[in-house]
Chains A and B, each alone.
Chain A
Amino acid sequence: MQEKEHERRQQEFDAKVANEERIEPKDWMPHDYRKTVLRQMSQHAHSEVIGMQPEGNWITRAPTLRRKAILLAKIQDEAGHGLYLYSAAETLGTSREDMIAALHLGKAKYASIFNYPALTWADMGAIGWLVDGAAIVNQVSLQRTSYGPYSRAMIRICKEESFHQRQGYQIMLVLARGSAEQKALAQDALDRWWWPSLMMFGPHDAESAHTAKSMQWKLKRESNDRLRQKFVDQTVPQAECIGLKMPDPDLSWNEDRGHYDFGEIDWDEFWQVVSGNGPCNRQRLAHHIKAQQDGAWVREAMHAYQEKQQARSARSAA
């Protein structure tokens, strides 16, 4: 009897996914689906929040007041994206506190790209152009992800991300048209951020642990390699347009495929950074933990005050 019921629910779920209907928080869903979507949303939320650090590194040193204001606004958007995504993840019954605890224990991950250092002002351009550019390619496909709250969060986030990508490209454009020194800053930033951006799409499809199942559930709508190709195809002409050179000797247009061919990613580096040994992994996590610890007394005070207020209004109502 129970088995039959389970089978019926599974069929209902499968049919919904097949019909492009969204799975909502109260719907029945397979245990592994729940686990996977939660992992993906928590990772995405943490990425938005940890991603504030490399850019935050340049707020106080932005070269003009206008650039400073734009950068601040962009970082605020990222904090806002983190909030939507934590809320979307909380629909599955895991609190933000638990997700942050898992991050601090190293159990939950965030995008590895943020483990690279933002060394010069040009990195603000490269991050917006390449990192946000790569994120958009991925997120556009996730607007159609099967989990409703995640899909809706993506639709909202994509609108703001395209502004981020444009502002990053605009920083690069100004540098590329500027003095020799500025152009060198831009080229250096592209050299350092290009390969890590390609790594953002994850391992090749054949080696991706979660791809097959996620595609079947329509959590993921396009494979890592296809998304990566899409990003390369859209970004190479943008670099050419502003006179910057891609740091890949194997990069060339393939007329037959109608796509750019490009060199092989350094997968050793990829796995090193993913497993915690990138240039900034420890710094990023330590920063987040410190802010959390330094703020503990503030959060406690807020709760204590709220309880006192509630007790007061209960007394006055009695």
Chain B
Amino acid sequence: MNSKANKQDANKQDIVNYAIALGDDSLTLGHRLSEWSSNAPFLEEDLALTNVALDFIGRAMMFYSYAGEAEGAGRSEDDIAYLRDCRQYRNLLICELPIGDFADTMARQFLIDVYDVGFYTELMQSVDETLAAIAAKAIKESRYHLRRSEQWIKRLGDGTGESHDRIQRAFNDVWGYTHELFEVDKIEESLINQGIAVDRPALKTDWERCVQSVLNEATLDTPDGQWSIRGGRAGLHTEHLGYLLAELQFMQRAYPGLEW
């Protein structure tokens, strides 16, 4: 094989990995949100949280099936979701954190929704048409998600003393996981340069401004920016992911290779 073909193959695999990573973000967060079913503070919110979960699971399906197609090795969306272990998962760590209480869930969701609105707005411009098409669908959902989560941050921050303390603590606890939203490695950088991937570091300023303005309005402090935990895109996860996968993958592991 000549070097040009080699390079094309390498690039194809990078796009596959990129799509899988985006699918992993969606699936792990969708999984977490789905855990709220029958556990939300009231029925309308139960419905809303599982609806958002469904949007993320839908995205995961689109990203994985695109990755499977682009790879051309016969892997289905389910093979990708159900047959990889912790170290092969590439989601950003913030997505896999446990749901905690309603404040933890909403703080995480708000930070991700702000990020997603920026991210998918840019991904719509990708030269990769499939990624751009997925983004065009996702952006509509994310704008709606953000309207909801922003409203909740204001309600909880400026609600009662207890809700204020809970949501402030939730932001403090999750803050260290936000840094890696804006960090990329060499391979992703090369996809950015080709106009395929989103320049995530460039999203940071707007994200900070938006988050800070909502936190201010919600009478909350923006947490201290010092501590950070990273590694999701390199497959270095929290201990929580293993349990998530054990549950997610139970059927495919216990009864391998069957149609459902």
Contacts and interface: CB of A to CB of B under 8 A. Distances in A.
Q: Is the interface of A mostly helix, strand, loop or mixed?
A: helix
Place the interface of chain B in its size category.
Answer: 35 or more
Contacts of A62: 251
B47 A76 contact: yes
A294 B100 CA distance: 11
A206 interface: no
B101 A294 contact: yes
B193 interface: no
Ranked nearest first, the 3 interchain pairs of A and B with the lowest CB-CB distance are A295-B41, A301-B159, A301-B163
Nearest to B53: A72
A229 B158 CA distance: 57
A63 B252 contact: yes
B160 A297 contact: yes
A182 B259 CA distance: 10
Interface stretch (A19-27, A78-86, A213-221, A266-274): A78-86
A291 B158 contact: no
A46 B48 CA distance: 19
Interface residues of A, number: 47
Contact of A72 (B50, B64, B101): B50
Contacts of A63: 251-252, 255, 260
A308 interface: yes
A298 B34 contact: no
Given A61-B250, A182-B258, A295 B42 contact: yes
Interface of B: 27, 31, 34-35, 37-47, 50-51, 53-54, 57-58, 60-61, 64, 77-78, 81-82, 101-102, 154-156, 158-160, 162-163, 166, 247-248, 250-252, 255, 258-260
Given A63-B255, A72-B53, A300-B159, 6 more contacts: A59-B34, A59-B35, A65-B64, A79-B46, A295-B45, A298-B156
A316 interface: no
6 contacts: A60-B248, A61-B247, A65-B77, A287-B38, A291-B40, A297-B166
Q: Is the interface of B mostly helix, strand, loop or mixed?
A: helix
Contacts of B27: 65
B31 A65 contact: no
Given A66-B61, A301-B156, A179 B258 contact: yes
A171 B163 CA distance: 43
A299 interface: yes
A65 B60 contact: yes
Nearest to A120: B251
B197 to A, nearest CB: 23
Interface stretch (A36-44, A49-57, A140-148, A189-197): A49-57
A64 interface: yes
A73 interface: yes
B39 A291 contact: yes
Nearest to A171: B260
Contacts of A182: 255, 258
Contact of A83 (B38, B43, B102, B247): B43
A302 B53 CA distance: 22
A134 interface: no
B258 to A, nearest CB: 6
A178 interface: yes
Contacts of A302: 155, 159
B38 A56 contact: yes
A223 to B, nearest CB: 32
A82 B163 CA distance: 27
A289 to B, nearest CB: 12
A304 interface: yes
A305 B155 contact: yes
A68 interface: yes
B34 A305 contact: no
A65 B57 contact: yes
A145 to B, nearest CB: 23
B155 A297 contact: no
A256 interface: no
Which of B27, B50, B248: most chain A Cβ within 10 A?
A: B50
Given A72-B57, A121-B260, A174-B259, A305 B43 contact: no
A306 to B, nearest CB: 8
B259 A69 contact: no
Contacts of B37: 52, 56, 59, 72, 75
Contacts of B40: 291, 295
